[in-house]
């Protein structure tokens, strides 16, 4: 199964998203973490955006979604913090990933190998361009701390069997992170139906603004922060919140996930037509 990527590099901002964001650049520019009126004026719209993002990925009330600057930050955060939490002083030293991950995963893995002595297994994809769950299982050892496998590939659109991979990780008692950048807003994604500990995603892949990403954290699991500072986002990710960006992400995800099957079918039709015409040539 493939995701039909409507524009792999980045997507155009939806006009409705821009409309929702605009007042938070102009009139309601307060910092939500300040106690004064300008700050608190932003709270209802932020609450709405957070609810939209929870709904868009099927997260539960006891989960956490932490806004970041991009999926690259979310991916770096998970890998480096799982190292700090489970590998630096613990008995784990191994990550399983694939050869076809985005550079924000591959370069971070290389860094952890070179600087921290972490062992990383880079699984090759099969002839269909995916890694099957039984292959993942066969490489997990009692020293594996994390499996990090993308949900959909950014070059081929191939969808990885995430439910089966999550079942394997649950069986083996290993944390699963997925880079959901190319899946969220493009195919139905419901994190509550799987045992996914962490999922990274990014607004500009589903017609939201650039410069805003997020990390889903199942059951609000403790994870050492990547950015220390003013204790925003409950101390998980410090830095003044990108209010218009978060509002834009919420709005864009709601639009993208409404009637998602119809959208998938219409993009599939266009994509298949291009392929048919190219093959005729």
In this structure, the strands spanning 175-179 and 94-98 are unpaired
- Long-range contacts of the stretch 25-28 (C-beta < 8 A, 24+): 25/244, 28/243
Give CA separation, 257 vs 12, 52, 115, 228, 271, in Å.
16, 10, 40, 33, 20
Nearest CA-CA partner of 190 in 11, 50, 60 = 60
Choose, by CB under 6 A, the member of 92, 102, 177, 237 that binds ligand PLP. Answer: 102
Q: Smaller CB distance to ligand PLP: residue 154 or 220?
A: 154
Residues 64-83 that bind ligand PLP (CB under 6 A): 70-72
Instruction: Based on the shown chain and the rule CB under 6 A, indicate whether residue 108 belongs to the binding site for ligand PLP.
Output: no
With respect to ligand PLP, which residue has the nearer C-beta, 182 or 232? 182
Binding of ligand PLP at residue 182 (CB under 6 A)? Answer: yes
Question: Is the Cβ of residue 52 or residue 104 nearer to ligand PLP in the bound state?
Answer: 104
Binding mask 233-272 for ligand PLP (x = CB under 6 A): ----------------------------------------
Tell me if 226 contacts ligand PLP by CB under 6 A. Answer: no
Nearer CB in complex with ligand PLP: 28/149:
149
- Report the sign of the C-alpha dihedral through residues 35, 40, 42, 43, in that order: positive
**One residue of 88, 121, 154, 220 binding ligand PLP per CB under 6 A:** 154
Give 220's DSSP letter: G
CB of 29 to ligand PLP, least distance (A): 24
Task: Please give the Cα distance from 221 to 64 (Å, whole number).
Answer: 8
Q: Which stretch binds ligand PLP (CB under 6 A): 30-38, 165-173, 174-182, 215-223?
A: 174-182
Contacts of 83 (CB under 8 A, 6+ apart): 112, 116, 118, 145
> Cα Rg for the chain, rounded, in angstroms?
19
**Among 181, 194, 197, 214, contact with ligand PLP (rule: CB under 6 A):** 181
Q: What is the three-class DSSP state of 135?
A: helix
């Amino acid at each position: 199964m493939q995701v039909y990527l409507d524009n792999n590099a980045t997507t155009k901002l939806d006009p409705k998203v821009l409309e929702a964001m605009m007042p938070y650049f102009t009139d309601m520019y307060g910092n939500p973490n300040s106690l004064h009126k300008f700050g608190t004026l932003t709270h209802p719209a932020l609450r709405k955006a957070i609810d939209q993002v929870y709904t868009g990925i099927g997260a539960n009330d006891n989960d956490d979604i932490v806004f970041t600057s991009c999926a690259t930050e979310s991916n770096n955060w998970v890998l480096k913090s799982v190292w700090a939490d489970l590998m630096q002083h613990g008995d784990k030293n191994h990550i399983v990933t694939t050869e076809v991950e985005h550079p924000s995963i591959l370069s971070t893995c290389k860094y952890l190998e070179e600087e921290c002595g972490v062992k990383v297994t880079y699984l090759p994809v099969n002839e269909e361009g995916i890694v099957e769950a039984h292959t993942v299982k066969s490489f997990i050892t009692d020293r594996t701390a994390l499996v990090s496998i993308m949900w959909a590939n950014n070059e081929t659109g191939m969808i990885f069997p995430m439910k089966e991979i999550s079942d394997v990780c649950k069986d083996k008692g290993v944390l699963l992170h997925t880079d959901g950048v190319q899946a969220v807003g493009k195919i139905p994604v419901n994190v509550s139906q799987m045992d996914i500990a962490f999922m990274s995603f990014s607004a500009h892949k589903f017609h939201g603004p650039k410069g805003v990403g997020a990390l889903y954290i199942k059951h609000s699991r403790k994870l050492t922060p990547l950015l220390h500072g003013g204790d925003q986002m409950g101390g998980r990710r410090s830095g003044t919140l990108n209010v218009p960006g978060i509002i834009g992400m919420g709005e864009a995800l709601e639009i993208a996930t409404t009637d998602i099957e119809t959208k998938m079918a219409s993009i599939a039709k266009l994509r298949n037509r291009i392929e048919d015409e190219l093959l005729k040539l």
